[in-house]
Amino acid sequence: MHPWLTRSLVLPLALAAVVIGPRAARAQDHDDKTASTTQGSEHLTLEPVQEGFVIAPDVRFGRVNGRDAYFMGGYGGWMFDKSILVGGGGYWLTNRDHDYEMQYGGAVVEWLSHATQRIGFGTRALIGGGTATLTRPYGEVFGPPPPNGVWPGDDSHFGHGHGPRPMPGRIPIASTTPVVVWGDYFIFEPQANLLIAITPWLRVNAGVGYRAIAGAGELNDHLRGASGTLALQIGGGN
C-alpha cells in the first residue's frame, strides 16, 4: 500500500477507536447489567400489602360474681398487612338483672400470625374501663351490721331475700344480708386466639382470655376471671 494512503487511514481509524471503543464498552456493560437484573428478577415475588378495616361481632362467656355470665359486643379497627389490628371494642352482660350488670370497653390491639392461611394464630388485648352492679353480703361491704340490727333506709338498695321489714322504711340487717353495690373499674383483658379462614376477608376467631380488674374495691375479685370468646372477623383486605 502506498505510504501516503497508509498515513491517511491511520488518523480516521484512531478516531474511530477513541469514539467507538468506550461506547462499545458501555453497551456491553449495559447488556451485562440487564442480563443480571433479568436473572435476579426471576427470584423476586411482588405481593400487594393487604390491609383494611375490620369489624368483628363477638360473644364472650365466663363467670361473674359466682354466676354464669354471657357477654355480647364486638371490636373493630384497621388491620395492617394482615398482621396487626389497632382499634377499639366494647361488651355488656346479656343475662343481666337490676342487681347483676356489667359493661366495659376500651382500646384493642391484636397481633396475627399466618392470617392469610387456612389456620392461623393470634393474641389480642383490650385495655379500658367499665361499670358493674352486683349483690354482695352486707358484712363484706360495710363490715359489722348496726347495733340495733336494722337499716334505716329504702329497701330498693338491697337485693332479693332481705326478709320482711319490722316497720315501714326499716330493714333487718345481718352480716349475710345481700346489698346492691355498684362501681367503676379498670380492665385489662389479654387473650390467645385460633384463626380459621373461611374466605380471604372472613375469619372465625376463637380464643381464651382473662379479665384483670382493678379499682372496684370489694368487687374486684367478683368481676375478674377467665373467659372464652367466639368472634367473626369481617374485612381486612383480600
User: Tell me, what's the pLDDT at 236?
Assistant: 74
Query: What residues does each domain of the chain span?
Result: 1-43, 52-235
Residues 138-179: tens digit of each pLDDT: 888 878 887 776 665 544 444 433 333 334 445 678 888 888
Q: How many CA atoms lie within 13 A of 175 on its CB side?
A: 4
CB atoms within 10 A of CB 211: 25
C-alpha neighbours within 13 Å on the C-beta side of residue 135: 17
pLDDT tens figures, 182-198: 999 999 999 999 999 89
Q: Which of 6-10, 95-99, 152-156 has the lowest mean pLDDT?
A: 6-10
pLDDT classification of 29: cutoffs 50, 70, 90: low
Eight-state DSSP code of residue 117: S
Pick the most confident of 165-169, 217-221, 223-227.
223-227
Nearest to 238 by CA among 198, 200, 199, 197: 200
Fold for the domain defined by 52-235: Porin (2.40.160)
What pLDDT was estimated at residue 134? 94
Task: Kindly state the DSSP code that residue 146 receives in the 8-state scheme.
Answer: P
pLDDT at 8: 42
Position 237 confidence tier, pLDDT thresholds 50, 70, 90? low
Local confidence band at 78 (pLDDT 50, 70, 90 cut-offs): very high
Whether the CA torsion 13, 14, 19, 22 is positive or negative: it is positive
CA distance 52 to 235: 7
More confident: 106 or 158: 106
Confidence at residue 126, expressed as pLDDT on a 0 to 100 scale = 98
Q: How confident is the model at residue 72 (pLDDT cuts 50, 70, 90)?
A: very high
